[in-house]
Amino acid sequence: MARPKGKANEKATAKRTTGGRKLPSATRKASKDGEKENEDQGVADTSSAPTSASSSAEAMYSIMRHAELKESLHKRFVKEMQQLYTKMGHNSFKQAFINVLKAVLEAEEGNENANTALNFCATFVSTPDETGSEPMLGDTFRWLLTTYSGSPHIRYRICYFINLILKELGPNAALDDSQCDDILEGMLDRVKDVSAMVRKQAVLAMQRLQNPDSPSDPVVCAYQYHLSADPSSNVRQCIISCMGRNYITIPHILQRLWDVDEKVRRHTYVNLCNYPVRSYKVAQRLTLLEQGLNDTSATVRKTVVNYMLKTWIESYQQNYVALTAALKLDSNEEELLRFRRVAKQMLRVIFEQTDHQKLVEQLPLSDDCELHRCIPHESLTVELLIYWQCLSEFLETEQPEMEPVLPELSVFCNYVDKFCQFQKPDMDKFAQVEFQNMLLSLVEILQSYDLGDEIGRGNMRQLISALLKDCLLDHKIVCVLVRCMEQLITDLNDRMQFFIEIIYELCELNTKQNELIHDRSLINKLLDDLDTPLKMKISSLKVRILEMEEQEDNFVRQKEYIRAQSVNDEKTAVTEEYTELIRPVLERNGVLEMPARPKLSKQERVLKGLYICYYMTASPHVHKLTPSLCQLYKDFICRYLACAEVDIFEWAIKCGTTYSMFYEAYSKEVFEVVVDQFCNNNIVRLCETAANCILELLDHYGVDYFNDLNQAGGHVSKTKRRQLYTMQEIYDDDDGSLSQNNEQNSDIIVVMGHYMERVQNKNVGVAIARGLCRLVLRGHLDDRPDVLEQLLKRYFNPNTEAIISQVLGMFFEELRRLNKQCLLQPCFLPTVWTIMNCSIDSPLNGVQPENLTKFFFEMTVQENSTPQTNIHNKLAISFLQYIQNYFTERKEMCRLLAKELTRLSINVFNGPEIKAEMLELADKLIARIGTSHDQKHWELQADGEWQFQSSASSESRGRR
């Protein structure tokens, strides 16, 4: 250990060595490495007893030399240091000890002995003496916290030493408030250090000073900030390890699951394994699994599976069904769907690493002959059904030789039918949602069956028919049932006829067959014995029903669907009244059996019919509409294109759009409805659906097709829908360019672009952005640079939602991959001018034009091109023309373009015409600006690059 130079031996030059190693020498100069000490540091008066002080210092250095080499003897050396402290006195010992610390702190970076010496010093300072106190602790902290250095390595060692002392104090240690405040103040300053290794040690030193239970705790606040903003991944990892974990801090740690560095993401999972799974919120458990199992890094995915998931399994005693239940969110339908998706992915990972027989043992399968290999209905839960479904799929693919965990098809059909009997009309909303999710799992299992059993196929057909007719079903269940029938009935016409018959029966479309209304002789016979007032009332109701049937048919033929729907609703009410009056007569005479009251309301039956219509048509097996499907559109679908009920109207326009994709005759009618809905309704869900429908039709038929319809037929909206009053129109245009609800604007692309810029809902914005990008990529908008201009502005708008920015980023990448960058050239100058000329309150005001030009030049650079097709050639010409035209009006814009000319990669080889045009424009620009001696201009060199020159060289350019 090197001894610092003291006043008593300033001329000593001998260098002490240990084991042949050159030891670092300490310094007393205050200026070395920018170091300075606090002025209250006392210096021992060695002039009075130089021999005694010198010998004591020699003893301290001797102890330190041995301590830095033998860590196992630190306890003995601590006692020797304590005895030396008693012998020297506090001030003398403190000065010598600080000199030792200086030598250690100044040691070279890779010196392991210096680290061992610091460990010994930390042990000594934190060890109480015979009186139970640590006499050097306070002074050591004070010196460390008031010492500054320009060397990042010394600052690192200081923070490292403080961290060692706090560790050595033990788990139950306590410090004075003043000491804690001083340490906290110093480390909060050091956590802002430019050196990442200093910040890391400051983070470690603050660990024992935090109070995680207080959201305003300065340590917790500093951790939260640096956890998200520190540029060093090592610092972020260190904070994850140090931050106390509770309900306040866990959300901030979870944000690191999206960290750009995979090491930080992995470190997050490793540390969160130690936090009890039951202490997480259910949504947080889902997030951990969802992000971890889908992480782009194989290392992170492996960590999640091998560490976190195994820890969770042990927490639930390897009960996989209980672990699955721990992920279930009961808040709403969307969360249940998310739970299903994450739980299935988790179970597949577990199944791959677990003995298969052990997996089967956790299923409570029945041995009953009637329901052999079925879970008793009273034991069914959402999580148990998901486990059953995933296990059956896994064993079928991985262990087909094992005994199946599913019953025969006929038994399972009977099982599902009995389960549906548990559905009650008085179920509350959540019970209904849970029932629908359980039924969805059952029908998905049904879809996985092999259809080689003829008897099973018949039972399956009966079950699907009964479910579609009598059971209240979510649209996802209807989709699975329709796909099951595609496997069961492979002939398209037979399958369509099967569904059409169900729809007609379900929605009571065969009203002409109702004998109670249309059989005159029967009704007259039944009414003979009735009183005259009742007979007159029944007859009048019958006449009203017949009249309304005729009115409804006339309105449908005239495509007045709103009026037809109104008449239909009135007819339904009158028919119910008529049925109730005639029912006692029929029961008394027994002439005609009354039809059973439907289990579902009319709205539920109509909605289910629309589900079936949509999914049976929107299928890869359907390529055209059959006559029976066209008749179904006329009898059923078109009548609800003007329905006031939101769910029915949404699915009606979905069905109408799907049918229009196959049959052009329906396209104009449906297009008018969806455009009207999109422009004049503020219900977000309907706007999103309408936007998707519009863009699907535009992509299928082309933009010009519907523009021609608009010009021929006037405004796109002809239906009569009343707009409800609202305090503030959320889609108002500030500049008034699309005022009056777009009544005078028949260009739907302009309308869509207008809404994309101003709509506040993320889902609607994503739908429009995706649709417009799709139209551009498929060549429908090659002559519409205004659309690309709007997409560019949306992409550079800092307020754009992350999902929309991602969509637009992928769009521009695809545009470049397809070599369609030339579409961007006409919209460059208008976009740059919009950004430079925007108002101060516009979000585009903060966009730097240089960022746009850099992005634009990178997008439009071409590896192979001719002078005529080179995009940068066209940009150069447009820049020169723009500067000439707006030289005095738009000086900032022209200055930017002049600067950006040097970054263009123009190509004028074998293109004399292009080169001559550029030179001519440059000459005109120079002539307009002036030809003074110090005037500067741009010169086009022979190698195709722009060079900035003074006007004095123009003569040489002319000769060349």
Give the pLDDT band of residue 938 (cuts 50, 70, 90): very low
Inform me whether the pLDDT recorded for 636 exceeds 60.
Answer: yes
Question: Tokens for 27?
Answer: 């310094």
Interacting residues of 477 by C-beta distance below 8 A, sequence separation 6+? 436, 439, 440, 443, 467
Strand 17-18 versus strand 21-22 pairing type: antiparallel
Give the pLDDT band of residue 527 (cuts 50, 70, 90): low
Inform me whether the pLDDT recorded for 379 exceeds 60.
Answer: yes
Give the pLDDT band of residue 290 (cuts 50, 70, 90): very high
Each residue of 570-619: pLDDT tens digit?
777 777 777 777 766 665 655 445 445 457 888 899 999 999 999 999 99
Of the two residues 40 and 705, the one the predictor is more confident about is 705
Angle formed at CA 90 by CA 84 and CA 95, multiple of 5 degrees: 90
pLDDT at 349: 95
pLDDT at 865: 81
pLDDT at 745: 46
Radius of gyration of the chain (CA): 41
Give the pLDDT band of residue 911 (cuts 50, 70, 90): confident
Q: Are 815 and 862 in contact (CB under 8 A)?
A: no
Inform me whether the pLDDT recorded for 892 exceeds 50.
Answer: yes
| Number of Cβ atoms within 10 Å of the Cβ of 898 | 18
E-state strands within 271-418: none
pLDDT at 558: 73
Q: Are 384 and 375 in contact (CB under 8 A)?
A: yes
Q: Are 142 and 182 in contact (CB under 8 A)?
A: yes
Of the two residues 947 and 184, the one the predictor is more confident about is 184
CA distance linking residue 430 with residue 433, whole number of Å? 5
CA distance linking residue 233 with residue 496, whole number of Å? 59
Q: Are 914 and 867 in contact (CB under 8 A)?
A: yes
| Number of Cβ atoms within 10 Å of the Cβ of 607 | 23
CA distance linking residue 732 with residue 758, whole number of Å? 8
Q: What percent of the chain has pLDDT over 90?
A: 42
Angular region, 676: left φ>0, alpha ψ -120 to 50, beta rest: alpha
Angular region, 7: left φ>0, alpha ψ -120 to 50, beta rest: alpha
Average pLDDT over residues 474-478: 95
Question: Tokens for 905?
Answer: 């990669």
Amino acid at 683: I
Q: Are 468 and 608 in contact (CB under 8 A)?
A: yes
Inform me whether the pLDDT recorded for 560 exceeds 80.
Answer: no
Inform me whether the pLDDT recorded for 242 exceeds 60.
Answer: yes
User: Which of 42-51, 136-145, 487-496, 520-529 bottoms out in mean pLDDT, i.e. has the lowest?
Assistant: 42-51
Interacting residues of 564 by C-beta distance below 8 A, sequence separation 6+? 552, 555, 556, 639
Inform me whether the pLDDT recorded for 6 exceeds 90.
Answer: no
State the DSSP code for 940.
Answer: E
Average pLDDT over residues 93-109: 88
Inform me whether the pLDDT recorded for 912 exceeds 60.
Answer: yes
pLDDT at 170: 81
Q: Whose CA is closest to 24, among 157, 124, 113? A: 113
Q: Whose CA is closest to 417, among 397, 442, 434? A: 442
Each residue of 794-837: pLDDT tens digit?
999 998 998 999 999 999 999 999 989 889 889 999 999 999 88
Tokens 């949509």 sit at which residue? Answer: 614
Each residue of 674-732: pLDDT tens digit?
998 888 877 889 999 999 999 999 999 998 888 765 554 444 444 444 444 444 333 34
Give the pLDDT band of residue 900 (cuts 50, 70, 90): confident
Inform me whether the pLDDT recorded for 472 exceeds 70.
Answer: yes
Element (H, E) at 21: strand 21-22
User: Which of 16-20, 207-211, 501-505 bottoms out in mean pLDDT, i.e. has the lowest?
Assistant: 16-20
pLDDT at 3: 41
pLDDT at 516: 54
| Number of Cβ atoms within 10 Å of the Cβ of 344 | 16
Q: What percent of the chain has pLDDT over 70?
A: 82
Average pLDDT over residues 750-755: 87
pLDDT at 518: 55
Give the pLDDT band of residue 524 (cuts 50, 70, 90): low
Q: What are phi and psi of 673, to 5 degrees?
A: -70, -45
In angstroms, the Cα distances linking 893 to 190, 828, 926, 958 are 45, 12, 17, 28
Each residue of 765-791: pLDDT tens digit?
999 999 999 999 999 998 899 999 999
Inform me whether the pLDDT recorded for 952 exceeds 50.
Answer: no
Task: Read off the pTM.
Answer: 0.77
pLDDT at 38: 40
pLDDT at 513: 39
CA distance linking residue 650 with residue 769, whole number of Å? 21
Give the pLDDT band of residue 521 (cuts 50, 70, 90): low
Q: What are phi and psi of 663, to 5 degrees?
A: -135, 110
Of the two residues 273 and 911, the one the predictor is more confident about is 273
Give the pLDDT band of residue 867 (cuts 50, 70, 90): confident
User: Which of 38-52, 286-300, 348-362, 623-637 bottoms out in mean pLDDT, i.e. has the lowest?
Assistant: 38-52
Work out the end-to-end distance of the chain between its first and last CA atoms, rounded to an integer number of angstroms. 76
Inform me whether the pLDDT recorded for 500 exceeds 70.
Answer: yes
Inform me whether the pLDDT recorded for 939 exceeds 50.
Answer: no
Q: Whose CA is closest to 773, among 759, 797, 758, 756? A: 756
Average pLDDT over residues 666-679: 89
CA distance linking residue 240 with residue 701, whole number of Å? 55
Which of 92-96, 436-440, 637-641 has the largest mean confidence?
436-440
pLDDT at 52: 59
Of the two residues 629 and 956, the one the predictor is more confident about is 629
pLDDT at 484: 95
Runs of H (alpha helix) within 255-293 = 262-272, 282-293
Average pLDDT over residues 233-251: 94
pLDDT at 520: 53
Q: Whose CA is closest to 639, among 717, 718, 723, 555? A: 555
